[in-house]
Amino acid sequence: MDIGRVGVWHPAVGKAPAEQARQAAARIEALGYGTVWVNEGLGSKEPFAVSAVVLAATERIAVGTGIANLWARDATTMAAAGATLADAYPGRFLLGIGVSHAPLVSRRGHDYGKPLTTMRTYLEAMDEAARSLPEPESPRILAALRPKMLELSRDLAAGAHTYFVPPEHTAQARQILGPDRLLIPEQAVVIESDPARAREIARAHMAYYLGLPNYLNNLRTLGFTDADFADGGSDRLADTIVAWGDTDAIAKRVRAHLDAGADQVAIQPLSPRSPDLADALTQLTRLAPVLGL
């Protein structure tokens, strides 16, 4: 599967009207990006249905779920959905699976339990279900941050999709995954050279994630403290999570992830009105030449 060195992760793809999603995906493909990532979050449409819409509207670009929540469907349904798209669009669909976060899982009426055990049991059930499904299966990667889930991504999946992480985390993840597993970090970006404005946009983006313990615990292992999480996030945290500046500055951050061991960097363009798909496409157009697409 050719996923390219730079992909696009943007929540508006899964929220926009279908025709807008089709047009955006076609534009992203024309610009040379390798993958469109479809998330499953609050207010998003069903990610496999959106993936099918995007795949049908494009010719070569890969599409991945980033991520499909295992609490939203049982293991048999997840395996069948991945196999359906892999069969319909050979070599173009990548199945990203995650355990989500306790507050979101409780809203679905589930007990979050132990994420690692839950994921392992789920993957084993997927493998059992896959034995009765027609070929081909889609490659699967796991949403992972901490070492144990990264190890599971290495042992029972094709790799890991990381989120809200700097290149330092990418280097650590590569060490755990080894050389032959996929590593695809997300990187939020905004073309904005005014520090105050850029950090304002960064803090608006970070606000939701700073309320989720999984991300905070991971950031603590990278040297951040509660002081960095207070009052919307410190300048240091904002500058770490969001790459901002001119196009060259953003390209430098993307290269840092690639140099640290990423196979692809999934960039998420932010805007003052985020999520703003039109503004995202404008930024992606400006970034494409400096990213070597």
Average pLDDT, the chain: 95
**Choice between 201 and 100, residue whose per-residue pLDDT is larger:** 201
Q: Which of 41, 84, 43, 42 is nearest to 63 (CA)?
A: 84
Structural domain total, the chain: 1
The domain in which residue 236 lies consists of: 6-287
Residues 239-258: tens digit of each pLDDT: 999 999 999 999 999 999 99
Domain-located, residue 162: yes
pLDDT score for 107: 64
Query: CATH no. for residue 82?
Result: 3.20.20.30
Strands 68-69, 265-269: parallel, antiparallel or unpaired by DSSP? unpaired
Burial of 187 (C-beta count, 10 Å sphere; 0-12/13-18/19+): buried
Please compute the mean of the pLDDT values over residues 57-78 and round it to a whole number. Answer: 97
Within a domain: 276: yes
User: Residue 109's pLDDT is what?
Assistant: 66
pLDDT at res. 245:
98
* Angstrom distance (rounded) from CA 126 to CA 77: 9
Q: How far apart are CA 50 and CA 55, in angstroms?
A: 9
What is the model's pLDDT at position 275?
A: 81
Tokens for 292, please give them. Answer: 């070597």
- Considering just the CA atoms, what is the radius of gyration of the chain in Å? 18
DSSP bridge partners of 8: 36, 267
Quick check: pTM over 0.75?
yes
pLDDT at 137: 78
Q: Which whole number is the average pLDDT over 203-222?
A: 96
CB atoms under 10 Å from CB of 258, counted, come to 17
**pLDDT one-digit tens code per residue, 92-140:** 999 999 997 666 666 666 676 789 999 999 999 999 999 998 877 789 9
- Span 194-221, mean pLDDT? 97
pLDDT tens, residue by residue, 135-146:
777 899 999 999
The set of long-range contacts for 88-91, using a CB threshold of 8 Å and a minimum separation of 24, is 88/52, 88/55, 89/55, 89/63, 90/136, 91/1, 91/2, 91/62
Please tell me the distance from the alpha carbon of residue 203 to that of residue 238, in angstroms, as a whole number.
7
The pLDDT, as a whole number, for residue 210 is: 97
What is the C-alpha to C-alpha distance for residues 119 and 70, in angstroms, rounded to an integer?
Answer: 8
The C-alpha atoms of residue 188 and residue 229 are separated, in whole angstroms, by 17
Asked whether the CA dihedral 209, 48, 81, 64 is positive or negative, the reply is negative
pLDDT given for residue 184 in this prediction: 99
AA letter at 264 = Q
* Structural domain includes residue 1: no
CB 221 within 8 A of CB 214: no
Is there a domain that residue 292 lies in?
no
- DSSP-assigned letters across all residues of the chain: ----SEEEE-GGGGTS-HHHHHHHHHHHHHHT--EEEE---TTPPPHHHHHHHHHHT-SS-EEEES-EEGGGS-HHHHHHHHHHHHHHSTT-EEEEEE---HHHHHHTT-----HHHHHHHHHHHHHHHHTTSPSPPPPEEEE--SHHHHHHHHHHSSEEEE-S--HHHHHHHHHHH-TTSEEEEEEEEEEB--HHHHHHHHHHHHHHHTT-HHHHHHHHHTT--HHHHGGG--HHHHHHHEEEESHHHHHHHHHHHHHHT-S-EEEEE--TTSS-HHHHHHHHHHHTTTTT-
**256-286 tens-digit pLDDT:** 999 999 999 999 999 998 789 999 999 999 9
Q: In percent, how much of the chain has pLDDT > 90?
A: 90
pLDDT (tens digit per residue) in 156-179: 999 999 999 999 999 999 999 999
- Band (78; pLDDT cuts 50, 70, 90): very high
pLDDT band at 42; cut points 50, 70, 90:
confident
> According to the model, what pLDDT value does residue 112 have?
67
